[in-house]
Copies of this chain bind each other. A is one copy, B any other.
Amino acid sequence: MSRRMKLDLLIILQKATELVDEHGLDQLSIGLLAEKLEVRPPSLYNHLDGLHELKQKLAIQGVKNLHTYMLQAAVGRSGDEAIRAISQAYIQFVREHPGLYDASTRFPNANDQALQHAQESVVHLVLRVLDTYNLQEEMAIHMVRGLRSILHGFTSIEQLGGFEMPLDINKSFTILINTFIEGIHAVTLNQNEN
């Protein structure tokens, strides 16, 4: 291993992703990351502006990756089946990349174009999935928010170890999504009465 390790932002982000997914976002430090990359801590500052910026970059990666998972799951599916598929993709992503997902919820830089774009991609994907329900425009957005709340809430609590009772977590998830879908159907029927 040569004394000079050729770093670049991509390599740094990859190693940081490994670290946060394995040890948790809060364990990410400049020192540990530098050690894993076999450089001295100050060297990292040649490639990024500090720990906080690094976390924001991870956040962007997280949203982009989440979108990719969901997009893959959605192709060729529609209606209830599509909702189930993107929901499964969401929970799968969080389970495989808990640190990245955590970064995307805790360190989103609202001013960052790339982040906003990635977030909008997810919203639009879900809106397309909901298209088949012919919801009124506003109602569709309320439902996107609802599904997002469900997915974020369930996965967050799972990651925190919050489901303590000895009862199959996957079943809870399936039932929750199905309950929501049933709810959409019911709301769709009543749509013109509100």
Interface residues of A (CB under 8 A from B): 105-106, 108, 110, 119, 138-139, 141-143, 145-146, 148-154, 156-157, 160-165, 167, 171-172, 175-176, 178-187
Contact = CB atoms under 8 A, between A and B. Distances in A.
A142 B187 contact: no
Contacts of A152: 153, 156-157
Contacts of A110: 161
A164 B111 CA distance: 12
Say how many copies of this protein the assembly contains: 2
Given A105-B156, A149-B149, 20 more contacts: A105-B160, A119-B164, A141-B165, A142-B167, A142-B172, A142-B175, A142-B176, A145-B157, A146-B172, A146-B175, A149-B157, A149-B176, A152-B156, A153-B154, A156-B156, A175-B187, A179-B184, A181-B183, A182-B183, A183-B186
